[in-house]
Homo-oligomer: A and B are copies of this chain.
Amino acid sequence: MRLTTYTDYSLRILIYLGTQPEKQLTNIKKLSELFNISNNHLSKIIFDLGKLGLIGTTRGRNGGIQLAKRPIDINLGYVIRETEKNLDIVECFDEKNNTCKISSCCRLKPIFKEALDAYFKVLDSYTLNDLIHNAKALNALLN
């Protein structure tokens, strides 16, 4: 059930950027130290969040990253779906590689699909804004 470290760090980065004043650029090295993530791992996550249109990068000596959308426009369900690449709860979700002999008449798959839908229905009802409603206190911890 655990989310990947990749998703976990993606969320932390978005939360951090969400607490920053508008137009404030954040230095990648600072984020790397703050969350104790290797530069390589962090660069990959930032590149991918950029491709999703969630963060923007400004190059150059005084460059850095910032949110590319308002926190209220960044849906939590969307972020988890996009960063958590494998949502196959059990083997039979992956029809191509499934080896389970009973999948053709087993009801596990539709039941887990229903449970996963309920899980995402909750996440879809929140945005990054809900995560940072305590931005002042978050900022005090982070700076």
| Chain A interface (Cβ < 8 Å from any Cβ of B) | 1-3, 8, 11-12, 15-16, 34-36, 76, 84, 86-91, 99-102, 104-108, 111, 114-116, 118-123, 126, 130-131, 133-134, 137-138, 141-142
Are B119 and A131 in contact (CB-based, < 8 A)? Answer: no
A55–chain B nearest beta-carbon distance, Å: 18
If over half of A's interface residues share one DSSP class (helix, strand or loop), that class is named, otherwise mixed; here it is: helix
User: Which chain B residues lie closer than 8 Å to A84 at the CB level?
Assistant: 1
Smallest CB separation, A142 vs chain B (Å): 6
A105 and B3 form a contact (CB under 8 A): no
The answer to whether A11 and B108 touch across the interface, beta carbons within 8 angstroms, is: yes
Query: Which residues from B are CB-within-8-Å of A130?
Result: 107, 111
CA distance A35 to B99 in the complex (A): 9
Task: Find chain B residues with CB under 8 A from A88 CB.
Answer: 1-2
Q: Given the interface contacts A111-B123, A115-B122, A118-B121, does A91 sit within 8 Å of B8 by beta carbon? A: yes
